[in-house]
Amino acid sequence: MKTRAITIVGMGDDGCAGLNSIAIAAISSAQVLVGGERHLGFFPDFQGTKISLKTEISKALKEAAELANENNVCVLASGDPLFYGVGALLVKLVGAEHVRILPHPTSLQVAFARAAWRWDDANWISLHGKSRNNFLTRLKRIAKLGVLTDPENNPAAIARYMLDHSEISWEAWVCENLESEDEKVRHFSNLEDLASCTDVGPLNVLLLRRTDKNWRPLPQIVNQSEDLFAKRIPKQGLITKKEIRLLSIGELQVRRESVIWDIGAASGSIAIECALLADLGHAYAIEVDPESIAFCRDNIEHFGVDNVTVIEGRAPEVLSEIKDDPDCVFIGGSKGSLQAIIETSFNRLRPGGRLVVNAITFENIEEAYRTFRELKLEPGIMMINISRAVPLARFMRYEAQNPIHNFMVEKPFGVANEPG
């Protein structure tokens, strides 16, 4: 293959008018032109071979790569080809040394320019062809962002979704058909107006910015008081106390992309705080008790996390319903099946992942330790004793919480996880 045989040209909706002389020369010298129908339509007089990226993009790019052995190939892309574009796919396919990229300003860059907002401090999220899961959770640390939309995740639908979950203090810009003759840019001072807007075209970018001057981003380490969670009061909450929660989540080593299983989730505090840390990942709250399940769902709604799924049923049997293998497993309740839960969870755990068990009773402490040893695992173990200051008349005294045994094992790399 010739060096730099494939040139990727970024374009805007203004078509040829927005191209510089280098990009025009690359297109003029091409024998093969590759792109979406809209981009190819800008060159009706092209005499060479045209390959459409309308469907089966991978197949079309492979065909282009083969033709590049004997032809000059030019690929047309939207904006910057390396920003949610075909650039990365083509580089992976043929190698960076065989690709020349001529970027154009992205639609997000143009949108921020239209709104006259600085964007070096902004975030961006693509909902194009994607689920809204994680969107609300990610917002908790974001003050300004650009959103790439699609017909289902259109600006009005996104605004309604935010309003339904109490994300109300935002202003918005909707930028349609950027750089084309029918460009339209509209400002919405509140989400209520945007939620009722039904005349937005399919090619659009949504910009969002908080209007609450007192807003602060979520702290990196979330450790909420158990008083903020709905819980079963007659049974003293069935909730992991905040100090134990902090240590347990620390042992799990949650990352932004982590998949977390919270087994015996009860009020869901572990799953929710892990989900807030894993804003690009997902948490599963596994619980069998109907009353606890109701409280768990209430807490998920209260904290506004959209990357937590409640799995109703008894572990370990119900774990087979979860298709995502975990990076982190927390076992806080077992209903007498601790050994089977540990074995099943460890088998599904991804290499490098961590499994943490909290045990209170002598029986569970013994069963956890014995199970790990039978699996030829040497767990890290700590006993956690926490005392809190409480009033005593006009004085203060310490009140001891239940001591907790905390077990942690990490799955070595090279040990395959077994599918459920």
DSSP 8-state secondary structure symbol assigned to residue 371: H
Please, are residues 125 and 145 in contact by the beta-carbon 8 Å criterion? yes
CB burial class (10 A; 0-12, 13-18, 19+) of residue 160? middle
Domains of the chain plus CATH, in order, are 6-104 (3.40.1010.10), 108-210 (3.30.950.10), 226-410 (3.40.50.150)
What confidence score (pLDDT) does residue 1 get?
A: 42
Please, what is the Cα angle at 128 between 127 and 132, to 5 degrees?
30
pLDDT in tens, the chain (420 residues): 455 589 999 999 888 988 999 999 999 999 999 999 999 999 999 999 999 998 788 899 999 999 998 999 999 999 999 998 899 999 999 999 999 999 999 999 999 999 999 999 999 999 999 999 999 999 999 999 999 999 999 999 999 999 999 999 999 999 999 998 999 999 999 999 999 999 999 999 999 999 999 999 988 888 777 776 766 655 545 678 889 999 999 999 999 999 999 999 999 999 999 999 999 999 999 999 999 999 999 999 999 999 999 999 999 999 999 999 999 999 999 999 999 999 999 999 999 999 999 999 999 999 999 999 999 999 999 999 999 999 999 999 999 989 999 999 999 987 766 665
Helix (H) or strand (E) holding 94: helix 87-94
27: helix, strand or coil:
helix
Quickly count helices (H) and strands (E) in the chain: 13, 19
| DSSP conformation letters of 178-224 | TTSTT-EEEEESSHHHHHT-----SSEEEEEEE--TT--PPPSS---
What confidence score (pLDDT) does residue 249 get?
A: 96
Q: What's the CA gap between 228 and 269, in Å, rounded? A: 10
Q: What's the CA gap between 270 and 273, in Å, rounded? A: 5
What confidence score (pLDDT) does residue 56 get?
A: 84
Please, are residues 273 and 249 in contact by the beta-carbon 8 Å criterion? yes
Q: Pairing relation of β-strands 387-392 and 6-11?
A: unpaired
